[in-house]
Structure 1
Amino acid sequence: MPEFTIETTYHLLIFRHATYSADTPEVACRLAIEDDDWSGQREDCESSGETHVTGIWEGASAAYRGQAIPVPAHFGEAVQRKAAQFELMLGLLKIIVGDAQARRPPPAGWLGKAERAIARGEAILEGARDPVEPGDAP
């Protein structure tokens, strides 16, 4: 019977509590994200992530030796699977919006909402901030 070396992992939640003086919650969040002092960190083993497969190799004790075998998608990390699905759905939405713009007027308000959803989706994929929504404070 064949043997396989399987690498599995999970993400351990590491957190910290820190206080920041700022004019707005957004500025305080930005300060917290940019703060690289993790000397007071704590681990939360109760909230660790799911176990998922990150590598497969044929043979015993074969990790990182030879060619890795592709991991079947359903054994991957759920957040990565969601991100891939999100990217696919965003692409489909962009096609639908382009089609709607070219052929017929969309229902009232729908096109604007879809265009904002596309802009937000692209920002998420690029690791950028969300675009400003109509009615947001400047």
Structure 2
Amino acid sequence: MHDDEEIITRWVIEGVLDHLEEARRFAGLDANAVVALADARTRRWELEGRLIYPSYFCPSSTGWLKALSAMVMRGRTFRILVEEVTPDESEDGEVVRSVARLFPKMDEEMLGLLRAFSAADAERVSDLSDRIATAFRRLREESSITDF
């Protein structure tokens, strides 16, 4: 990767396709905003999909956060990923440079246990957790969602 390459950060919700479609409708997003994952199925053989922000059919963080809130309010199982991509001349039009799966913040008891084994790893996990919380706070502030 060259220093002058444009890096685009994308927020992704992955989960059961039908649940994402329900969340997409709740958020008022375009019917094409949710994309089916080719060969991804749950243990119950349900098709899986993903909703990406920013994307052509989900250009606003508000819509993405509304869809996320619908998944949470309905108690749906989902994953949140952050991807970094760069534009490319390939058929897909982009190259995925990195993917991070987001998890809830570790509590102090769990971090203490991790510190007993590796202080450096505990510090790294704590730092990543703080960075994720900051990113979500910024995303929430940018969207200024108030109509739930």
Asked if TM exceeds 0.5, the reply is: no
- When Rg is computed on C-alpha atoms for both structures, the one with the higher figure is 1
Structure having the larger proportion of residues in strand: 2
